[in-house]
Amino acid sequence: MTIDRFFKEGKLLTIPRKTKDKELIFDYLSTQFSEEKSYTEKEVNEILKAFYPDYAILRRFLVDHHYLIRDAYGKSYQKNTEKISK
């Protein structure tokens, strides 16, 4: 299954309703983060803003579904290397 149908000119058109479609989108977005780097919230926002204007909802989903791990203070984010893509 391809994610191209959800993007136009590199921008996410909408967040799909179906869970499997969301997983495709967020698996792809998680590839934009390096496993070796810690990111500030501002850096995460800048990366996600390039794909969708409501970057906060993307960031929340990535954290809530364990694609990114946020520290207890909400200041540092890291890619979850244990997240298994389906």
Residue 36: predicted pLDDT: 93
Q: Which residues pair with 39 in a beta bridge?
A: 77
- Kindly report the pTM of this predicted structure: 0.89
In-domain check, residue 10:
no
Instruction: Please report, for residues 2, 25, 63, 82, the alpha-carbon distance to residue 76 in angstroms, rounded to integers and kept in the order given.
Output: 31, 23, 11, 18
Q: Residue 30 domain-assigned?
A: yes
Beta bridge partners of 7: 12
Residue 3 in any domain: the answer is no
In a domain, 6, yes or no: no
Per the domain annotation, does 41 fall within a domain? yes
Q: Kindly report, residue by residue over 9-66, the tens digit of the pLDDT.
A: 999 999 999 999 999 999 999 999 999 999 999 999 999 999 999 999 999 999 999 9
Number of domains in the chain: 1
Residue 4 counted as domain residue = no
- Average pLDDT on 1-9 reads 89
User: Quick one: pLDDT at residue 46?
Assistant: 98
In a domain, 71, yes or no: yes
Q: Which domain holds residue 55?
A: 20-79
What is the pLDDT averaged over residues 58-84? 92
CA torsion, ordered 39, 74, 24, 52, to nearest 10 deg:
-80
**84, part of any domain:** no
